[in-house]
Chain A
Amino acid sequence: MGRVVELDNRGLEPPEPMMRILDALETMGDGDTLVARNDRQPMFLYPELEERGYAHRTEPMDGGGYRITVWKAGKERP
């Protein structure tokens, strides 16, 4: 089981949340997982994740915002 990297993007304006997520992914190992909290669903991020070979999941959080979990496709689902 790899590391879990947490990222709080609440209060940031696009495209910063998306860029922070893409930046964080570059520093992560194959088994690591990224968990980001965003105010909005990062619609433009999803195609970028597909392109880079990541699987992902988006869940609405209590009290507003979304939790986006990203991991390398083919690895174990966190």
Chain B
Amino acid sequence: MNTLATKKAPPVTLPIRYIVTGIVSYFIAQLAMLLWPDKLLTGPVLRPETISLVHLLTLGWASMVVIGVLYQMIPVLLQVDLHREDVGRFLFWPALIGVSTLIVGFRIWNTTVIATGGTITTLSFFAYGWNMRGTLLNVKAWSRQGFAMLAGLVFFMLTVLWGFMMTLTLRFGFLGSSLGGLLGSHIAMGFIGWFTLMIFGVAYRLVPMFALSHGFTESRQLPAILLLGGGTFLFIARAFWPGIPGWTGATLVMVAFLLFALDVRTIFKHRRRRKLELVSRFSAASVVAGITVFALIWGRFLAGQGSWLDDERVLIAAGYMALLGWISLMIVGHLYKIIPFLAWLHRYGDKAGKEAVPLLRELFNRKVSEACFWLLVIGTGMVFIGILAGLGLLTRLSLLATLAGTLAFAYNVWEMVQPKEAKN
């Protein structure tokens, strides 16, 4: 028997539907930013277009992809069967409808549509959480990385719950004027607790695997995970006790991120694979973007209100770098490895080892992936500078570059899922 399809991992159609939805959202978001009038790039932050765009990126792109990848990775990384694969398959549809309705609701600013979309989104993501709870209850051996993923999922549920309360408040006003406090912790939970903690957990596992690295120190991993979770918790506590200074949480998070960055560097130093693959280069760029963002957040809370770091423009630049730099570059890089791997296993897994099959790297166009890398990385950095310095033309041109990079990425994803002939 030589079947490579492990019985733990679900068939490719489950994760791929979430991943494809994510990539479509990513493209629409890049296009929307390019078509935006200049005034949106200078603030104010809280307006229908921005809120809609942020949720297109966080829910439509990042959350969809992470959900899809976790359906694939949790069974493999934590050696456990999915609780209900059929439920995961079905839940895709209410999640898609809920998230789309919510994003449209924000854009047209109709509180009934927002509350409706919010309710469907909440129900479907809570059902996802229930499905994951059933899966994780069967895990026998817990690792640091598994713990980080679990904590990330808990923060995801809290973020959704907070968002749900806010959409109901918008529609029915039941929480009165406390929306501001909720918003701060909603952002902290989502950005730091859900995405950043989840990336820590997944990256601590996958970065060494892809770089073929072993023998590096792992002693900083648990402190980094705990500090990040603790920092998020302090940000949440501020919603209830506003007396807690913001710099406390920000400092924990900053230290956690520096430990993580140091770890990634150490993993690369211990790598066996001489040439840094695309996934590793994207990860490095993403970590640099992350340091920039967390340093800005830290500085903002240290300097207090009224400093130049409190400026709307800095806020937008930091938000852009957080979503399109830290989170997106990490995801794009890992998808360059994960999608070909899933497609390869799906198409050639049973033939591999017995007859000639295409190689992993032959599944997509290398020239296009190089262009994609540079357009996205340089473009994102230049957009950040453009927003910060208030240079409208630079921002527009750089947004055009990132859109081209996204197109290159979408083209390569299309290539990855096409059948190929073996060359050897």
Q: CB distance B341 to A44 under 8 Å?
A: yes
Of B1-9, B81-89, B125-133, B229-237, the one contacting chain A is B1-9
CB of A49 within 8 A of chain B? yes
Please measure, in the bound complex, the distance between the C-alpha atom of A41 and the C-alpha atom of B272, giving whole angstroms.
21
In the complex, the answer to whether A19 meets B6 with C-beta atoms within 8 Å is: no
Task: Let me know if B357 and A15 touch, CB within 8 A.
Answer: no
**A60: contacting residue among B1, B212, B341, B349, CB under 8 A:** B1
| Chain A interface, >50% SS class | mixed
Is B6 in contact with A41, judged by CB distance below 8 angstroms?
yes
Q: Are B76 and A43 in contact (CB-based, < 8 A)?
A: yes
SS of B interface (majority): loop
Task: Report if B214 contacts A (CB, 8 A).
Answer: yes
The listed residue (B272, B341, B424) touching A19 by CB distance below 8 A is B272
Q: Flag whether A57 is at the interface (Cβ < 8 A).
A: yes
Cβ-based interface call for B369 (8 A)? no
A51 to B214, Cβ gap below 8 A? no
- Chain B residues with Cβ below 8 Å from A55 are 353-354
B112 contacts partner chain A, Cβ-Cβ < 8 Å: no
Q: Write out the residue numbers on chain B whose beta carbons fall within 8 Å of the beta carbon of A19.
A: 212, 214, 272
Q: Is the CB of A46 within 8 A of B272?
A: no
Given contacts A40-B79, A47-B341, A55-B354, contact A15 B349 (CB under 8 A): no
Determine if A14 is an interface residue (Cβ-Cβ < 8 Å): yes
CB-CB under 8 A from A53, the residues of chain B are 424
**Contact call B4/A43, Cβ cutoff below 8 A:** yes
**Looking at the complex, which one of A15, A43, A46, A51 makes contact with B353 (CB distance below 8 Å)?**
A46
Closest B residue, CB atoms, query A40: B79
* Residue contact A58 to B2, C-beta cutoff 8 Å: yes
- Distance in angstroms between the alpha carbons of A50 and B420 in the assembled complex: 15
B359, A57: Cβ atoms under 8 Å? no
Interface residues on B, range: 20 to 34
Q: Is A16 an interface residue (CB 8 A)?
A: yes
Residue of B with least CB distance to A60: B1
Given A40-B79, A51-B359, check contact A22 B353 (CB 8 Å).
no
A57 lies within 8 A of B79 (CB)? no
| C-alpha spacing A30/B254, complex, angstroms | 51
Return chain A residues, CB-CB under 8 Å to B353. 46, 49-50, 54-58
Q: Are B359 and A50 in contact (CB under 8 A)?
A: yes
- Residues of chain B lying within 8 A (CB to CB) of residue A54: 353
* A44 in contact with B209 given A58-B2, A59-B1 (CB within 8 Å): yes
Besides the contacts A16-B214, A56-B353, A58-B1, what 4 more A-B pairs have beta carbons closer than 8 Å? A14-B209, A43-B76, A46-B353, A50-B359
- Can you list 26 A-B contacts with CB-CB less than 8 angstroms, sorted by A residue number? A14-B205, A14-B209, A15-B209, A15-B214, A18-B209, A19-B212, A19-B214, A22-B212, A22-B272, A40-B6, A41-B4, A41-B6, A43-B4, A43-B9, A43-B341, A44-B209, A46-B353, A47-B359, A49-B352, A50-B352, A50-B357, A50-B359, A50-B360, A54-B353, A55-B353, A58-B353
